[in-house]
Amino acid sequence: MHLHLAYPAVLAVLLFCVGLYGVLARRNAILVLMSVELMLNAVNLNLVAFDVWLRDSLHAGQALTLFTIAIAAAEIGIGLAIVLAVYRNRGSSAVDDLRDTAEHPDDDPGDGDTGAAAADTDAEATPAQKAEATA
């Protein structure tokens, strides 16, 4: 039996394109992780198809596929743990909401702003500190 390489290659390209569309278009973090898994499975399909087509005696493509499956399992476990932690804290698993968690360099609390930050410190001052400030 002779394997036509075009069939699994076209299927892998279709799977990869669907996964890429899911990564770029979806806003739900779980759907993004599922799309990444589709992309990894397209790569696995190519690895096995080329391994069979080249008739490799070491079966390096199949060995790499096993490593890729193991890494994908670890990635999905860690990724789901992160998504669940974000969902517990934020109440949403939307990817757009994750941009708000990033620290910005201009948000340093000790940069000497005297605007609203000074008003906040006056509201939190103890009565003894307020008495010293007015005296």
Q: Which two tokens stand for residue 3?
A: 């394997």
Give the distance between the most distant pair of CA atoms in the chain.
97
- Our CA angle for 12, 15, 17, nearest 5°, is 105
Walk along the chain (135 residues) and give the pLDDT tens digit of each residue: 566 899 999 999 999 999 999 999 998 999 999 999 999 999 999 999 999 999 888 999 999 999 999 999 999 999 999 999 988 988 888 888 777 666 666 766 565 555 555 455 555 666 666 556 665
* Cα 68 to Cα 41: distance, rounded to the nearest angstrom: 9
Q: Which residues contact residue 125 at a Cβ distance below 8 angstroms, ignoring those fewer than 6 apart? A: 133
